[in-house]
Amino acid sequence: HTAAANGTGKSLYSGNVVLTTNSVTGGYELRDPSRGSTYTINMKNKSQGGTIFTDTDNIWGNNLTSDTASAAVDAQYGTALTWDYYKIVHGRNGIANDGKGAYNRVHYNRSYANAYWSDSCFCMTYGDGDGRSLRALVSIDVAGHEMTHGVTSRSANLTYSGESGGLNEATSDIFGTMVEFYANNANDAGDYLIGEKVMISKAFLRNMMKPSADGASADCWYSGLGSLDVHYSSGPANHWFYLLAEGTNSSLGASPTCVAGNTRVATGSGSLSGIGRDAAAKIWYRALTVKMTSSTNYAGARAAAISAANDLYGAGSTQSNAVAAAWSAVGVN
Ligand code: ASN
Ligand code: ZN
Ligand code: CA
């Protein structure tokens, strides 16, 4: 039995948000009948089991970790935003494009400092963080990042190692960021950083404006890129997206271009004009869902993105030329 109701969520990172919940006998459950019946369960710091969150007055959480429902609000909100982003912007009906919602498991295990998507349960798992370097990993960009792994798996299915693994990770950073911009939430404004809300000891997990700022990611393609961990070989594709969307003269941050392998040089000779986030995201979504395959590498991603831009905007269009120029700027020729 499902009956959509309007609830209020008091989140950890996004202030107070509107949640669509499910009216049941005696109260409400944290399930969204309007978005594929997405729901959130409380793992109660265990790694198995879990029960759906329920509430009597449809006001969930207290913006603090002292109420276990607060992190559940962030997770449920992040799932709703990701659903809406893919549906409204890209016409995709859920992660698998079949109208089925995923579910969330929050408070997974103890001091668990990660979040991950699983294809087998079609579900999201969120840890509370270790309390030293990471808080609960339920921010909008992390939720969008993780669920995009589900989208990738149901489309190009980029193999999670080597260069295709870096492209897989970058796809999650790109659309996680796009979901954050889409949310337009005053408490968690859109930016080109990943994980800025959940980090305690550092400012971000990853930085699309300057990937190497994390101390490990590459800014530019080089022949050994595929040997890096996939969370670091994502750097050139993350930076490509940033340069394509915003260009080199953005007020947002420094935008190095690349020459000779992974050497970063100051911008000057190679100035780029951005085509805007929305056009850049449309191009990458088409590349992901129509052009790329499990074994696509960086050279293949360049070809896929140019082909997608040609389809959407025409060969020789400003957008198509900008796609090529941005790939060249990160060393992919
Ligand atoms: N949070 C990590 C990620 O989505 C989990 C993993 O290593 N796959 O990249
Ligand atoms: Zn990931
Ligand atoms: Ca962010």
DSSP string spanning 78-128? HHHHHHHIIIIIH---STTSSSPPPEEEES-SSS---EEEETTTTEEEE--
Domain positions in the chain: 4-138, 162-329
Distance 322 CA to ligand 1 centre (A): 30
Distance 95 CA to ligand 3 centre (A): 21
Residue of minimum CA distance from atom 6 in ligand 1: 116
What is the separation, in whole angstroms, between the first and last Cα of the chain? 55
Residue of minimum CA distance from atom 8 in ligand 1: 116
Query: Which residues place a Cβ less than 5 A from the ion ligand 3?
Result: 141, 180, 191, 193
Q: Which of 29, 107, 145, 146 is catalytic?
A: 146
How confident is the model at residue 326, as a pLDDT? 93
How confident is the model at residue 268, as a pLDDT? 42
Q: Which of 51-60, 100-109, 300-309, 321-330 has the lowest mean pLDDT?
A: 321-330
| Catalytic-residue membership of 231 | yes
Residue of minimum CA distance from atom 3 in ligand 1: 116
The answer to whether residue 267 scores a pLDDT higher than 60 is no
Average pLDDT, the chain: 94
Distance 166 CA to ligand 2 centre (A): 9
Q: Which of 90, 107, 149, 231 is catalytic?
A: 231
CATH of the structural domain 162-329, one choice from 1.10.390.10, 3.30.470.20, 1.20.1250.20, 3.30.420.610? 1.10.390.10
CATH class of 4-138: alpha beta
| Catalytic-residue membership of 149 | no
How confident is the model at residue 248, as a pLDDT? 83
How confident is the model at residue 265, as a pLDDT? 47
How confident is the model at residue 1, as a pLDDT? 65
- For Cα atoms 270, 273, 274, give the angle at the middle one, nearest 5 degrees: 130
Q: How far apart are CA 188 and CA 139, in angstroms?
A: 8
How confident is the model at residue 249, as a pLDDT? 72
How confident is the model at residue 270, as a pLDDT? 64
Residue of minimum CA distance from atom 7 in ligand 1: 116
Q: How far apart are CA 115 and CA 123, in angstroms?
A: 11
Ligand 1 atom closest to the CA of 145, numbered from 1: 4
Q: Give pLDDT tens digits for 56-99.
A: 999 999 999 999 999 999 999 999 999 999 999 999 999 999 99
Pocket of ligand 1 (CB under 6 A): 114-116, 145-146, 149, 169, 231
Q: 124 and 79 in contact (C-beta within 8 Å)?
A: yes
Which of 332, 163, 206 shows the shortest CA–CA distance to 258? 332
Tell me if 4-138 shares its fold with 162-329. no
From 112, 116, 137, 233, give the residue whose CB has the most ligand 1 atoms within 8 Å, as the site to mutate. 116
Query: pTM here?
Result: 0.96
